[in-house]
Structure 1
Amino acid sequence: MGCCSSKSADSKASRLARWRATGIVALRDSKLKAFPDEVFDMDRSVRTLDFTHNRIADVPIEINKFVNMQRLILAENVIERLPINMGKIQALKIMILDRNRITTLPDEFGQLVRLERLSISENLLVQLPETIGSLRNLTLLNVSNNKLKNFPESIGSCFSLEEIQANENAIEDIPSSICNLVHLKSLCLDQNKLKQIPDNLLTDCKALQNISLHNNPISMDQFQLMEGFQEFETRRKKKFDKQIDANVMISSKGLDEGVDL
């Protein structure tokens, strides 16, 4: 007993030492149902927390101790909600919450002002908080495979957004504020309920190179008649010509992006 206990203690001590040295706390595929207690002893030392593919149902409120955490990866768990004090982790840059059971994001989410990449696909989201507009450094938003019916008007204040993935939702309309996203390069909205998109999207979003609208009620004729379509087509073709010149393998579907509705 004493020998086994000693080995267990050594193992735990060495793991903590490794975590402190690297700042990376990674326990993937570990059948966890909760955050291990020893993780909270790390507090300010945590830079990356990765608990992918476990059975975690609740994110503890003590997570706000990780004030220096930059990456939070909790994909493939059974999480239903997030604590409101997550907004205090203001060093956070990357958050990956794919394949959980999350229905809403707290309003305090808007306090994560350094967040650059948010992926929360394959959840049960019915709406995004208006406070998401405070995420001025966000470059990627992936909310595919949820139950969203629209975007909040404040999405237009996420001025750094370059890519929005919102495939397989129930989105019926896009707010005109999305035209404020002058850095937006890719907008993916396959399998939604869109009948139209903002009239000035193609003229105002001058960086836009890809729009994917497969399986929506909007027609190809509507899209081609929009002001700015020819300029958009030029950007789209230029993008793929560059990829071909760089010997990048592209599928025929890839060449079709943004045109075939």
Structure 2
Amino acid sequence: MGCCSSTNGDSRAARVARWRSTGIVALRDFKLKVLPGEIFEVLASNLIERLPNNLGNLRSLKVLTLDGNRLRNLPDELGALSRLEQLSITNNILICLPNTVGHLHNLLILNVSSNKLKSLPESIGGCTSLEEFQANDNLIEELPLSICNLIHLKSLFLNKNNMHQLPQNLLRGCKALQNLSLHDNPIAMEQFQQMDGFLEFEARRKKKFDKQIDSNVMMSSTALDEGLDL
């Protein structure tokens, strides 16, 4: 296949372990035609402070995990990763996201939890395929209005931020939203319940949980909570 179905019979876990211990130079032993996806697992839990500007050349990349580093910023070239579906940059020191994040039209999952973000770019509304967005444990005070354009968004997690309110049209615009978690934010349940589209949101949420119960799916003790602190 040109990837790492190597003649050495290496397992995926063995390759990742060796790359962690010897560095990416270990790749020279393989006659690669395609860069293996697991190579990007070794980028997590390091001391990376910045990414190269030529990151955008990885046009076929679908998953990028950069958790547990020291990133303060991301290059604008991130937006060139047109096939990216999953991006995780948790436990860094990000102070902002580049405006070009809105060019990631195929992005399904975005996790920027445990950073220093005070806001999100208006361009986030351009991530039109986004289904799950996690931004827990940041310093976010408000969401851009464009987030209401994410019609495929099912799960939005914003615990431990500084949000007093949400865009009034969030629940109506994000018409697929089923999970919304806002614990440890200074926002009142009454204010949340008065938002446009609240009843429709509650109906979607109830339908999801009823389906899980009918299917005997195990749920955590917090699965049925309201997503806010009362």
**Cα distance per residue 1:82-110 (max 9 Å; x no partner):** 11101001000011111111111100000
Indicate yes or no: 2:118 matched with 1:149: yes
Aligned counterpart in structure 1 of residue 92 of structure 2, from 90, 103, 123: 123
Aligned counterpart in structure 2 of residue 27 of structure 1, from 16, 24, 43: 16
The TM-score with structure 1 as length reference comes to 0.79
- Would you say the 8 A contact 1:155–1:178 is kept in 2? yes
In structure 1, what is the equivalent of residue 162 of structure 2? 193
Counterpart CA distance in 1 for 2:29 and 2:72 is 26
Q: What is the identity, as a one-letter code, of the residue corresponding to 2:200?
A: E
Find the residue that maps to 2:147 and give its secondary structure.
Answer: helix
- Would you say the 8 A contact 1:24–1:46 is kept in 2? no
Find the residue that maps to 1:86 and give its secondary structure.
Answer: helix
Percentage of pairs with the same residue: 54
1:44 Cα deviation from its structure 2 partner? 2.9
What is the root-mean-square deviation in Å for CA atoms of aligned residues? 2.5
Indicate yes or no: 2:60 matched with 1:91: yes
Counterpart CA distance in 2 for 1:126 and 1:99 is 15
The TM-score with structure 2 as length reference comes to 0.89
Counterpart CA distance in 1 for 2:131 and 2:49 is 28
Q: What is the identity, as a one-letter code, of the residue corresponding to 2:87?
A: L
- Would you say the 8 A contact 1:23–1:46 is kept in 2? no
Structure-to-structure mapping, 1:1-261, within 5 angstroms: 17-18=7-8, 26-28=15-17, 32=21, 34-36=23-25, 38-39=27-28, 42=31, 44-50=33-39, 72-73=40-41, 74-258=43-227, 260=229
Larger Rg: 1
Structure 2: gaps spanning 5 or more residues? none
**Cα distance per residue 1:150-176 (max 9 Å; x no partner):** 110000010000110000000011000
Q: 1:25 to 1:125 in 2, by over 3 A?
A: farther
Q: What is the identity, as a one-letter code, of the residue corresponding to 2:36?
A: R
Q: 1:25 to 1:236 in 2, by over 3 A?
A: same
Q: 1:180 to 1:166 in 2, by over 3 A?
A: same
Counterpart CA distance in 1 for 2:199 and 2:185 is 21
Q: 1:254 to 1:32 in 2, by over 3 A?
A: same
Structure 1: gaps spanning 5 or more residues? 1-13, 51-71
Q: What is the identity, as a one-letter code, of the residue corresponding to 1:36?
A: V
